[in-house]
């Protein structure tokens, strides 16, 4: 797998990867109907396409030339010092192969002025929490609205400081 910038021809494959990953991860937490509702809104082609042109963001895929193994999307806040990692997902069949770490490394390299990276993770998603802890993230808080201002989905907030940042 190599990590590269996502492009419009990738959107169908990105959506398929996100839908598969979300159902595999969250059906047991939220139920399949709720996961379908979320993925239809958050991971629609139109929503993904908008991300391709967001200023101060990076939209990445892990690709082996035949299929996508993962996707990441991050966006710098106005001051450029805090980067919000909105997505980091690896296809279920490809987890544990270093793809998530490669995507995360590339995201971090894409924001050289950042002092911290922040993300939200579902409290019951133990696999993701374990991954982020292994990547030197620490829990710094909680939110009642993961992903959007009115989602009603609680989550933990994790943060990772960048060594040597001002």
pLDDT at position 164: 61
On the question of pLDDT at 31 being above 80, the answer is: yes
Q: How far apart are the first and last CA of the chain?
A: 33
All structural domains of the chain, each given as residue ranges with its CATH number in brackets, are 2-161 (3.40.630.30)
39 CB-near residues (< 8 Å, 6+ apart): 18, 19, 22, 23
User: What does DSSP assign to residue 157?
Assistant: E
Q: Is the pTM of this model over 0.85?
A: yes
CA 149, CA 143: separation in Å to the nearest integer? 10
pLDDT at position 148: 67
Could you read off the pLDDT of 116-159 as tens digits, one per residue?
Answer: 999 999 998 999 999 999 999 999 998 877 776 777 778 899 99
Best CA proximity match to 44, nearest among 71, 14, 73: 14
**Ordered alpha helix ranges (H), the chain:** 11-30, 32-42, 45-51, 99-110, 126-134
pLDDT at position 79: 85
């Amino acid at each position: 797998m190599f990590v590269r910038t996502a492009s419009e021809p990738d959107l169908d494959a990105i959506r398929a990867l996100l839908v598969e990953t979300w159902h595999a991860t969250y059906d047991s937490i939220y139920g399949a109907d709720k996961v379908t509702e979320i993925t239809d809104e958050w991971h629609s082609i139109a929503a993904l396409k908008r991300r391709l042109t967001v200023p101060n963001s990076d939209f990445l895929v892990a690709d082996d030339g035949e299929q996508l193994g993962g996707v990441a999307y991050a966006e710098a806040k106005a001051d450029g010092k805090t980067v919000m990692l909105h997505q980091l997902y690896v296809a279920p069949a490809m987890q544990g192969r270093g793809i998530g770490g490669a995507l995360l490394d590339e995201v971090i390299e894409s924001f050289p002025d950042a002092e911290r990276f922040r993300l939200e993770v579902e409290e019951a998603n133990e696999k993701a929490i374990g991954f982020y802890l292994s990547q030197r993230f620490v829990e710094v808080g909680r939110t009642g609205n993961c992903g959007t201002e009115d989602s009603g989905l609680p989550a933990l907030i994790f943060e990772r400081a960048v060594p040597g940042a001002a």
